[in-house]
Amino acid sequence: MRLQNTDGGDIVSASNPTLTRQQHSAAKKRKKSINWMPYILIAPAIILIFCFLFYPVGNVFYYSMQHFNPAKTYENGFAGLDNFTKIFREDSLFYLSLWVSLKWVVVEVVLQLICGLGIALMLNQSFKFRGLFRSAAILPWAISGVVTSTLWSLIFNEQMGVINDLLLRFNWIDHRVAWLAELNTVFPSIVTAELWRGIPFFTIALLAAMQTIPGDLYESAVVDGANRWKSFIHITMPFLKNTIILTTLLRAVWEFNNVDLIFIMTNGTGGPVDLTTTLPMYIVKQAIIAQDFGYGSALTVIGFIILLLFAVSYLKLSGFGKEDQT
């Protein structure tokens, strides 16, 4: 005997209650079964992220607590916090490198933002050959760091550099200047080279953000008697706020970690007298050149913590994305 509900479904089987319970249990198992296919599909990406991100980061933290120098194997072993103690208490060059890093990041990000915003505003206007000028504006971004560094090293070369040649022709200097070797000119010279490479990043990002601003807002502002400056302050800048916050954060992190340009243009010295030795450059000198991987790893951990605290604090204080939540 089998009882049915109003829609024809079985409620209970009086003749074979065991079979009904088995079917009910099987149905529950089918409901509780997990579809593993999505996890299988993302597994390769997760494995790659672990191998190329989490494992290297964990390895750096491990070696930061070790004395590890292939040239001095007799000194290798567990160091605990000795490397960090030495950094904060004995290493004066560490504090100098932090100051150079701070100066480098602030100068580069501010100048790149101002120049990139200005170029983006110009390229956002309608004029003849605008596409050509837009393409030319992003060319420096497409050139590799090594090529850029070599190019600007030749430009600032004391004997055959184009900078000295032009300045001598216009009688602005009376002798050839070693731009990358003199104390007063090395930092501005490297800043100029990196500025040329970094401006397109802001130009592209800000220009793309400007394309999303409705034109009706500018037309309404003109009707209300607003000039270009007021339209820029009250319309353009509010729309660009989140883009500016995100791009300055990304660029600050990239500039803090910049090594290739400084390394090549100073021949790997970070000089003269460490005037261009940023913290990442100091890490390269300790870990790669001096082969002191334990000490270099400890410096890397400190740099990682500095960037993490900076990123969190910057996003918190700038109010990134808060408008979207209201």
Residues 6+ away with beta carbon under 8 Å from 314: 245, 249, 252
101 and 29 in one domain? no
Q: List pLDDT tens digits, range 299-309.
A: 999 999 999 99
Residue 227 belongs to domain spanning: 87-325
Q: For residue 271, is it within any domain?
A: yes
User: Which CA distances in Å does 297 have to 89, 152, 275, 283, 306?
Assistant: 17, 31, 22, 8, 14
Retrieve residue 326's tokens. Answer: 């209201």
Assess if residue 181 is contained within a domain: yes
Residue 76 lies in a domain: no
Claim to verify: residue 18 and residue 112 sit in the same structural domain: no
Q: Which residues contact residue 193 at a Cβ distance below 8 angstroms, ignoring those fewer than 6 apart?
A: 148, 149, 152, 156, 261, 265
23 shares its domain with 113? no
Q: Per the domain annotation, does 248 fall within a domain?
A: yes
CATH assignment of the domain containing 269: 1.10.3720.10
Kind and range of the H or E element at 25? helix 17-32
293 part of a folded domain: yes
Whole-structure pTM value = 0.83
Both 22 and 108 in one domain: the answer is no
Asked if the structure places residue 133 within a domain, the reply is: yes
Q: Is residue 189 part of a domain?
A: yes
Q: For the chain, what is the domain count? A: 2
* Residue 63 covered by a domain: no
Cross-strand pairs, 13 = 2
**Alpha-carbon span 52 to 298, nearest angstrom:** 20
Q: Which residues contact 307 (CB under 8 A, 6 or more apart)?
A: 253, 256
pLDDT tens per residue across span 119-139: 999 999 888 888 898 888 888
Q: Tens of pLDDT along 152-197?
A: 999 999 988 999 999 999 999 888 999 999 999 999 999 999 999 9
Nearest by Cα to 68 from 291, 318, 321, 252: 291
Q: Are residue 1 and residue 117 in the same domain, yes or no? A: no
